[in-house]
Structures are given as structure tokens and as C-alpha cells.
Structure 1
Amino acid sequence: MIRDIKATIERSSDTLLADTIGAAALVVMFVIGLHLPLLT
């Protein structure tokens, strides 16, 4: 399984940074969205 993960990372190394940034942005939007009712 570790070998599969390493192979996947090697194949997608070009887009890995963009995908990580996108996932982090989604998490931030999700957390902010959940906290909006508490702010009003």
C-alpha cells in the first residue's frame, strides 16, 4: 500500500501543490461557513 501511495505521488507531482492548496481552501471555507451563525 505504501508503494501505491508513493507511485501516485510521483505520478501527480505536477498538480500536487495545487490540489493541496485547493483542499486547504475548501477546509477554510467549510470552517468559516460553519461559524457564520455564531458571528451574527
Structure 2
Amino acid sequence: MLHDLMATLTRCQATLWQDALGAACLMVLLFAGLHLPALI
């Protein structure tokens, strides 16, 4: 399983930072969406 993970990370190394940025943006949107009703 570790070998498969390393192979996958090696193949998608070019877009890995874009995927991480997208995941971070989704977490920010989720956090903001959950706290927005408390502000109103």
C-alpha cells in the first residue's frame, strides 16, 4: 500500500499543490458557512 501511495504522489506531483490549495479553499468555505448563521 505504501508503494501505491508513493507511485500516486510521484505521478501527480505537478498538480499536488493545486489540489492542496483547493482543499484549503473548501475548508475555508465550510468554516465560513457554518459560522455565518451565528453572525446574523
Runs (5+) with no aligned partner, structure 2: none
Q: Counterparts of 1:24 and 1:8 in 2: how far apart (Å)?
A: 20
Cα deviation, 1:1-40, whole Å, max 9, x if unaligned, reads: 1111110000000000001000100011011001100111
Normalised TM-score (structure 2): 0.93
Q: Counterparts of 2:27 and 2:5 in 1: how far apart (Å)?
A: 23
Q: How large is the RMSD of aligned CA atoms in angstroms?
A: 0.5
Q: Give the equivalent residue in structure 2 for 1:5.
A: 5
* Structure 1 residue runs of 4 or more that deviate by more than 3 Å after TM superposition: none
Q: Counterparts of 1:28 and 1:7 in 2: how far apart (Å)?
A: 30
Q: Give the paired residue count.
A: 40
Identity of aligned residues (%): 47
